[in-house]
Each structure stands twice: as structure tokens, then as C-alpha cells.
């Protein structure tokens, strides 16, 4: 089963159809996705700004990571759950959406950046810095995270718009390539 076939199959399931057609569940899930964006994205940016040394300089980095990050992660869990449900409601269009693909790639990049920071950068400096402006390695990780999350939010917002949708042909060949779109009526 190719990914395209998988998402086409997913869109035929009763779960997907029910979610898609629901007049309450879909807007509600989308709203929860935005509310938890406030918790996750908001607190993540505060953590990143602290890593950059741009706010809360009198609060040790370890404090911010230990006491703020868990709240952000809790928000992230809800974002993943609601986000998955939103994809489940519109599987094929999401899979073939240019901005959705961009968002997923950047999510992986943000995950790698977080992994690199926690296991490679942070252990080397823990105990050395207490407060003030962190060393450059930490600041670069913070800046990368901040840039990626802002770009992810931008892409997330753009998923709702259909400029590059598969059923809007003709599209440039590069767009059809990037969205694995076969511009034939049989796909839709």
C-alpha cells in the first residue's frame, strides 16, 4: 500500500467521514488545537527567548527548562492528538497539501534540534552557567527552535488555503511533484 492509497483508504473510513461532516466536532477540535497552541507555542517561545538570553535573565536556564518545559510538553501532547484528528478528518487533502508537508518536515527538524540540544549541547554546560546570557551553542539552539516553531505556525495556518491543492489544476510541475499529485480526475 502506497502512502497515497493509505490516505485514500483513510478518507473512506467512517471515522474520517463522521469527523469531516460533523458540524460541532471539527470546529471544536480545531479550536482546542488553537488554544493549546497558546500553551505550547507561547511557553516554547518563552523558553527559546530565555535560551537566547532575551528575557528572564535572572532566572537560571535550568529552572526555566525544568519548570516551564513540562507545561509546554503537556500542551504539545494535546496539539498532536487534536492535529492527528484534524488530519483524520481530511486525510487525502492533508497528505497532498504543500504546507502540511512543509510543516511535518519542520516538525521533524524541530524534534532533532530539541534532541541535539538536550543530549549534546545542554549536558556540557549544565552547572557552568547559572544565569545571565547563555553561551552561543545554547543561543543557536534557542534561535533555531524559535525560527522553526514560527515557520511551523505559518505553514499550519496556510494548510487551510487551497492555492496548491491537487484538484486545482493546472499547477506548475514542481508543485505537483512536491505534493505527489497526479493531475488526473481519477485521483479525486
Which CB, 52 or 88, lies closer to another protein?
52
**Which residue, 36 or 179, is less far from another protein as judged by CB?**
36
Nearest approach, Cβ of 57 to another protein (angstroms)? 7
Smallest distance, another protein to C-beta of residue 151, A: 10
Name the minimum Å distance from CB 186 to another protein. 29
Binding site for another protein (CB under 8 A): 27, 30-31, 34-35, 37-39, 41-46, 49, 55-59, 63-64, 67-68, 71, 150, 153-154, 157-158, 160-161, 163
Instruction: Give which of 51, 34, 107 is closest to 26, Cα–Cα.
Output: 34
- Smaller CB separation from another protein, 37 or 138: 37
> From its phi and psi, is residue 132 left (phi > 0), alpha (psi between -120 and 50) or beta?
left
CB 183 within 8 A of CB 176: yes
Q: How far is the CB of 40 from another protein (least distance, A)?
A: 8
Report how far residue 140's alpha carbon sits from residue 76's, in angstroms, rounded to the nearest whole number.
22
CA–chain centroid gap for 96, Å, is 16
Q: DSSP string covering 11-68, please?
A: TTSHHHHHHHH-SSHHHHHHHHHHHHHHHHHHHHHHHHHHHHTSS-TTS-HHHHHHHT
Nearer to another protein, 67 or 124 (CB): 67
Burial class (CB in 10 A: 0-12, 13-18, 19+), 40: buried
For the CB of residue 9, give the shortest distance to another protein in the complex, in Å: 29
Return the number of the residue (170 or 185) whose C-beta is nearest another protein.
170
Nearest residue (CB) to another protein, 68 versus 81: 68
Minimum Å gap between C-beta 30 and another protein is 7
Interatomic CA distance for residues 81 and 79, integer angstroms? 5
Amino acid at each position: 500500500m502506497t502512502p497515497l492509497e493509505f490516505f485514500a483508504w483513510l478518507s473512506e473510513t467512517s471515522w474520517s467521514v463522521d469527523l469531516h461532516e460533523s458540524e460541532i466536532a471539527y470546529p471544536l477540535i480545531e479550536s482546542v488545537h488553537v488554544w493549546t497552541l497558546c500553551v505550547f507555542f507561547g511557553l516554547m517561545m518563552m523558553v527559546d527567548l530565555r535560551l537566547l538570553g532575551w528575557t528572564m535573565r535572572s532566572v537560571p536556564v535550568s529552572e526555566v527548562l525544568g519548570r516551564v518545559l513540562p507545561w509546554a510538553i503537556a500542551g504539545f501532547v494535546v496539539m498532536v492528538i487534536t492535529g492527528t484528528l484534524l488530519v483524520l478528518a481530511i486525510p487525502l487533502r492533508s497528505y497532498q497539501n504543500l504546507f502540511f508537508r512543509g510543516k511535518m518536515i519542520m516538525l521533524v527538524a524541530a524534534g532533532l534540534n530539541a534532541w541535539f540540544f538536550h543530549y549534546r549541547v545542554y549536558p556540557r554546560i549544565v552547572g557552568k552557567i547559572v544565569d545571565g546570557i547563555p553561551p552561543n551553542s545554547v543561543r543557536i539552539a534557542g534561535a533555531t527552535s524559535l525560527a522553526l516553531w514560527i515557520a511551523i505556525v505559518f505553514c499550519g495556518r496556510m494548510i487551510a488555503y487551497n492555492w496548491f491543492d491537487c484538484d486545482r489544476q493546472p499547477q506548475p510541475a514542481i508543485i505537483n511533484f512536491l505534493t505527489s499529485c497526479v493531475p488526473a480526475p481519477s485521483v479525486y
